[in-house]
Amino acid sequence: MGPKGGFGLSKAESEMAGDSRVCAEARLGRGLMSALFAVAIVATSPAVAQSPPQPALAQSSTQSPAPPPADAPADGLEVGSLVLTPCVGSAGDAYCGTLPRPLDPSGTRPGTIKVGFEFYPAAVDDPAGTIVAQEGGPGFSTTGTRTGFLHLFGTLRDRHNILLVDKRGTGLSQPIDCPDLQKDPDLAPEAVGACGAALGDHAWDYGTALAADDLAAVIEALEVGPVAYYGDSYGTYFGAVFAARHPTLLRTLVLDSAYPPFGPDPWYATEWAAGRDGFDLVCARSPSCTALGGRSTRRLADLLDAVRKTPLSGTAPDGDGTMHDVTLDAPTLFMVMNAAGSDPVVYRELDAAARAWLVHQDGAPLLRLTAEARDMSSPGGVPVDFSSGLYAAIVCTDYRQLFDLRLSPAERRAALERAVADKQARHPDIYAPFTIDEVRNSPRNVERLDLCLDWPAPPDGRTPGAPLPAATTFPSVPTLVLAGDLDNTTAPDEGFAAARLFPDPYFVLLRNTSHVAAMTTEAVLVPPVGSDAAGCAGPMTAAFVGDGGRPPSVRCAAEIRPIRTVPAFARTVAEVAPASPAPASLDAPREADLRLAAAAAETAGDVLARYFVNSTEKGVGLRGGHFSLGPDGEGYRFTLDGVRWTQDLAVSGTIDWNQVTGEIDADLDVAQDGGPEGHLTLHWNDRRTNAQMTIDGQLDDRDIDAVRLAP
């Protein structure tokens, strides 16, 4: 939520330096209804007068570049009118180039900017076309997500070029660097205003329309159009603007987690509704949560009432195991719930964490979710990876505000307070069960209603919040729009609205999916093979592009397995619901052993869940111990060292997750304080709905053969 694409995405939507990616509405015209419902819908519809600051040179990867083809110039590759050179430290066969562009094409404000890009040539002399990918944010570097994009389109690379262009003010295109803003996790209006002042006459020269023209200029200079375009999050907003301004340069268009360029609503109410109601959707699809009866949102409202009265404070680890002092009060709980759109761990664990605190006064799970959400919701890092200045420039110049930026700062503040007072009088439950004041006070300033209060006024002739004229016509180009039904960053309704702009789109609603469907399913780390972990939206996207925009097969969109929620957090093994004896078990295991087996299973599931919030490949257990993870074959191997999910059970060993097949195998040594020790093997297929886990091994000298719902 908040201005689109940020932040809950500072890790989940961008590769950090070194390739870690750590990266229904009314009837519609011109064929959309048939395409939309007969072909694509697979689930019910969702009821800076100075030059810009110069960046340091970006090192994109530690891998050595491939040599240029034999017929290329000795120092590079000639493509169209440009000669590209092997990218320094690039992955494989990348060639880099820059194209000077005027900051202000009208010439009123002199100055130029170098737009940087990476080009990955096809293996054949006569390629089928060029794929252009664009990252979101706004503020993230497209080239920083190279690994994700190259995996997404890996099956097409032999016959397709891939072009990654960094938008002006990001990545290789002279990223805006405002140090005070870059290190401010809450993006205070004063720091945003100071950044705008530092950009001077060019504060309004970083908008989406100008960046779209830059991309067009690169495509034309390389002579590779028309192109197949893929954009995620803000990259969809950018893609719609590009399509409107340069329709002849498009062959196909894929908008992943989309929202339209008209708007968005500065209150972001649609996103909040999608995220809040998503907790009930997740619960209704999870057997362990459904068995509780009642609604997840009712239990979360009870948690809200509790932390309003008495905030919960303590020390807890973030997704990388770094400890933080955190406090969970009402505004912070809003931030945590808001993080679910880009962090499925929140959907997985918040209900159970709330019950652990409300019923048993066990605050560890809630405090950990708070620390993880604060980390995932923070901008920062180096500008070449994510530019907070560019983020502010786009939000303040292209997005609608609750005040007119042509007013003085004092008048803007008065206008904002009038808008808030009017909303409180007319629609006080817009963020229910939270109050508007609680939302305005949330850490990381989640909704950012006041972000642009001090941004410089627009130059003459520039209309704030309008990257395109209202009467813009969008081209008839094969268009695929993907939306996750759990996405609260770009809600499904907004994806539908974006689809309606185009004459003949295919709108696909993916069950059990949140933000950025085709790219690793919200994980920070990039799978060694393939794109999204569900194996659906990624292959669908590649097929649509490879087939030149023919209707894609969408069957898998309804078959993505639900998020399996934590049944209950427990301090001790004795509190864990036991696993069940395997049907073919000769001797019924002791109940205590079945509880230990279930606790070991929950420990494994808890570690696997940290994959979605981890960027350093190291972490800690909920109540102690350490783990590490790293790419291994077609997935990841997790190594556990005394990890404790309960206080009295230490689990060590390995977990292997094949992200192509979904098979997970764990080989674990377990030791209960004052209880048995032993060895367990666990197996399940993570892609299966309500997957059953098998558990076998020995505890002391007793065999155990059990089953239970996979974590």
> What tens digit of pLDDT does each residue of 549-602 get?
999 999 999 999 999 999 999 999 999 999 999 997 777 889 999 999 999 999
**Does pLDDT of 295 surpass 90?**
yes
**Does pLDDT of 174 surpass 50?**
yes
Q: Are strands 95-102 and 129-134 parallel, antiparallel or unpaired?
A: unpaired
> 26: pLDDT confidence band, cut at 50, 70 and 90?
very low
Task: Choose the most confident range, by mean pLDDT, from 361-365, 549-553, 587-591, 611-615.
Answer: 361-365
Q: What predicted TM-score, i.e. pTM, was given to this entire model? A: 0.90
pLDDT score, position 556: 95
Q: Are 628 and 606 in contact (CB under 8 A)?
A: no
**Does pLDDT of 263 surpass 90?**
no
Q: Are 82 and 221 in contact (CB under 8 A)?
A: yes
**Does pLDDT of 37 surpass 60?**
no
> What tens digit of pLDDT does each residue of 517-532 get?
998 645 567 777 777 8
d(CA 502, CA 483): 16
CA-closest candidate to residue 288, choices 575, 606, 567 = 567
pLDDT score, position 90: 60
584-591, Cβ contacts within 8 angstroms, sequence gap of 24 or more:
584/705, 585/705, 585/706, 587/703, 589/702, 589/703, 589/704, 589/705, 589/706, 590/702
% of the chain surpassing 90 pLDDT = 79
pLDDT score, position 526: 72
Q: How far is CA 697 from CA 574, 664, 667, 675, in A?
A: 20, 16, 10, 16
**Does pLDDT of 654 surpass 50?**
yes
> 2: pLDDT confidence band, cut at 50, 70 and 90?
low
DSSP 381: S
% of the chain surpassing 70 pLDDT = 87
Helix axes 296-309, 330-338, angle to 10 degrees: 150
**Does pLDDT of 35 surpass 50?**
no
**Does pLDDT of 325 surpass 80?**
yes
581: part of which helix (H) or strand (E)? strand 580-581
b/e sequence 672-690, b meaning 16+ C-beta within 10 Å:
beebbebebebbbebbeee
Could you tell me how many helices (H) and strands (E) the chain has, helices first? 18, 21
| Mean pLDDT of the region 470-476 | 94
> What tens digit of pLDDT does each residue of 382-412 get?
999 999 999 999 999 999 999 999 999 999 9
Give the three-class secondary structure for 329: coil
| Mean pLDDT of the region 131-149 | 94
Q: Which token pair is 4? A: 């689109």
**Does pLDDT of 44 surpass 90?**
no
Annotate 254-288 with DSSP letters as a single string. Answer: EEES---SS---TT-HHHHHHHHHHHHHHHHT-HH
Dihedral sign, CA of 521, 525, 531, 533?
negative
pLDDT score, position 584: 79
| Mean pLDDT of the region 525-545 | 86
d(CA 165, CA 171): 9
CA-closest candidate to residue 129, choices 117, 138, 139, 120 = 120
pLDDT score, position 588: 83
**Does pLDDT of 22 surpass 50?**
no
> What tens digit of pLDDT does each residue of 223-252 get?
999 999 999 999 999 999 999 999 999 999
> 265: pLDDT confidence band, cut at 50, 70 and 90?
confident
Q: What mean pLDDT is reported for the chain?
A: 88
d(CA 186, CA 190): 11
> What tens digit of pLDDT does each residue of 505-520 get?
999 999 999 999 998 6
Among 6-10, 108-112, 244-248, 535-539, the minimum mean pLDDT is found in 6-10
Q: What does the longest C-alpha to C-alpha distance in the chain come to?
A: 85
Among 13-22, 70-79, 260-269, 668-677, the minimum mean pLDDT is found in 13-22
